Structure 1
Amino acid sequence: MSETDVGLFGPRSVTWQMHADPMMWIAGVRALYLQALHPRAVRGVMENSDFREDAWGRLMRTADFVGTLTYATTRDAEKYGARVRTIHRLLTATDPLTGETYGIGEPDLLLWVHCAEADSYLQVERRSGLPLTDAQADRYIDEQREAARMVGLDPSAVPATTAEMEAYFTGIRPQLAAGPDAREVDDFLRDPPVPAALVPARALLWRRVAALAYDSLPPYAHELYGRPAPP
């Protein structure tokens, strides 16, 4: 980090405060659960990534992207964003219901992924006890419009407050479903394959992380996945 270039957000931002918290790992898993409920978005992942064989690598690459956008210089963040936008322009997927071929960089899909991530980060951090006022929560959602720009979205078309984010999720709910791809993501997150030596750690640590992430989902997501919500 340059002394004169504090990046896209800077040390006084809510983003810097939140993204340094270890609970972001649980928030990231919650985002995966939520993103998988959009059939076209999750199909794009399944067709264009090695999710099944390298899910850990994908998770770490996502963490690296978030970390770079949050804490790197503006130049490095812009370079990373440009690379992601190029990838989005090149990749396509097949709609699981209609057979239509579509680009994974469609604005509505990018918006879904962005909102699922930003909402997951904020919800988990607030529910885990990070002291954020309502004004700071709104400020975080507004700051994350800069991250949305990095993946190719027009910031003016992205929710800027928690109320706008809530309205977005209300509007998109009829499009959500726990189809075969979402079930596969769910199965993986609950019981990911690991080397034999790591099986005890999976039972001790990972399943608790996945359970916390799942439990923090909104009620409609629990209904779609077909497992009861926690008290």
Structure 2
Amino acid sequence: MAAAIRRGGPDGERGGPDGDPGLYGPRSVTWQMHGDPVMWIAGVRALYLQALHPLAVRGVTQNSDFRKDAWGRLLRTARFVATITYGTTEAAERAGAKVRGIHRRLSLTDPVTGARHGVDEPELLLWVHCAEIDSYLHVMRRSGYPLTDAQADAYVAENVVSARLVGLDPAAVPADTAALAAYFAAVRPELAATPDARQVDAFLRRPPVHALLVPAREVIWGRFASLAYGTLPPYAHALYGRPAPPPRVVTRRLRAMGGALRCIPPAARWQLPPKHIMRAVERLGPGSRPSPYKLRRNAAILDSGDATGVRPFAAGLHGGGGS
């Protein structure tokens, strides 16, 4: 037994098949989906969407110089998502407590009324959460990642956990795709492309890089960001005032990009810092490796009427990522 236990990474995780599965665990949809490289495109789409809430984006521009540290901000968000997905329960709870502590100390000024708001107000936290979950689900499914409608509902339900970690009451968070779509329908009249949102748009289109990297930015990042923008709902394109290619063209390009990214061997992708997935596999054993194959297998089990091994979350059949 002792020989099977190994020290893990900086979170103090331990190796072996009997390790702590964390808040989600290998049987969840979230565990399988968050290991896919298309999540990076989904993350950029989430930034575009989040910036359309006037108070939420105001909190960003007033409390950080995202233009100088935008890469760091994006990486910190990715690290948080990876930690709560693949880290131990203790590491995930600690990451959530850190985020809540930061938010408690921050505030923003409403550019219209001059009123002060806390960054941790539930309305703002809920918008950020829903924009992320919707973006992850929409982009992944549209890129060809195999998710049934029931699994899409399960993904939304599972991520009520992440909403709790940032300070939301789980009872107030959408727990299936129908509730998520209803939330977006209700909040849509509040959205606008404010000057703050246009700053975010300008940054995402042409982030600052070293002069020698400008050509690569235009060739590589430009296509990446344009694809993320194209996956936004039509009302977001209308608010930003920039057109997007026809939906069928965006879908075709997204599937091509997804296919190219998925050709990179997972073992190579997972070696990139901070190696959360590699540490989770060391902790739980090789059977915990994220794979879309496991979602297809679970879907087949559901179709056969045997739900053994499938997490008992919402079973309603609704379309996912439908903002």
Could you state the TM-score of these two structures normalised by the residue count of structure 1? 0.98
Looking at structure 2, the residues matched to 40 and 160 of structure 1 have their Cα atoms a distance apart, in angstroms, of 24
Cα separation, 2, equivalents of 1:69 and 1:50: 26
Among candidates 180, 185, 192, match of residue 195 of structure 2: 180
Query: How many Å apart are 1:198 and its aligned residue?
Result: 1.1
Asked if residue 202 in structure 1 is aligned to residue 217 in structure 2, the reply is yes
Decide which moves more: 176-185 or 221-230: 221-230
Structure having the larger proportion of residues in helix: 1
> Which residue in 1 is equivalent to 2:162?
147
Distance 1:50 1:184 in 2: 11
What code does the residue aligned with 2:155 have? Answer: Y
Superimposed CA distance per residue, residues 40-98 of structure 1 (whole angstroms, 9 cap, x where no aligned partner): 00000011112011100100000000000100000000001001001111100100111
Following superposition of structure 1 onto structure 2, how do residues 105-184 of structure 1 map, counting pairs within 5 Å? 105-184=120-199
1:86 and 2:71 matched = no
State yes or no: 1:227 paired with 2:242: yes
Q: Which amino acid aligns with 2:190?
A: Q
Letter in 1 for 2:223: R
Of the structure 1 ranges 23-32 and 46-55, higher mean CA displacement relative to structure 2 is found in 46-55
CA contact (8 A) 2:67 2:207 kept: no
Find the aligned partners of 1:212 and 1:38 in 2 and give their Cα distance.
21
Cα deviation per residue 1:136-192 (whole Å; 9 max; x = unaligned)? 000000001000000000111100010100000000001000000000000010111
Structure 1 residue ranges without an equivalent (≥5): none
The SS at the match of 1:52 is helix
The one-letter amino acid of 1:50's match is: D
Q: Measure how far apart 1:109 and its partner are.
A: 0.2
Counterparts of 1:12 and 1:193 in 2: how far apart (Å)? Answer: 40
- Alignment length (residue pairs): 231
Deviation at 1:201, TM superposition (A): 1.5
Q: Which runs of 4+ in 1 moved over 3 A?
A: none
User: For residue 190 of structure 1, what is the amino acid of its counterpart?
Assistant: R
Bigger RCO of structures 1 and 2 (CA < 8 A, at least 6 apart): 2
In 1, Cα distance between equivalents of 2:57 and 2:232: 17
**CA distance, structure 2, for counterparts of residue 145 and residue 220 of structure 1:** 26
CA contact (8 A) 2:126 2:173 kept: yes
Instruction: Give, in whole Å, the separation in 2 of the partners of 1:205 and 1:93.
Output: 34
* 1:36 alignment counterpart: 51
Larger Rg: 2
| Segment of structure 1 superposing worse, 177-186 or 199-208 | 199-208
Q: CA deviation at 1:193?
A: 1.1
Moved more, 99-108 or 196-205: 196-205
Distance, in Å, in 2 between the alignment partners of 1:22 and 1:153 is 28
Structure 1 distance, partners of 2:28, 2:220, is: 31
Give the percent of matched residue pairs that are identical in Structure 1 and Structure 2: 70
* SS state at 1:98 partner: coil
Could you tell me which runs of 5 or more consecutive residues in structure 2 were left unpaired when the two chains were aligned.
1-12, 247-323
Aligned-pair RMSD on alpha carbons?
A: 0.8
- TM-score when normalising by structure 2: 0.71
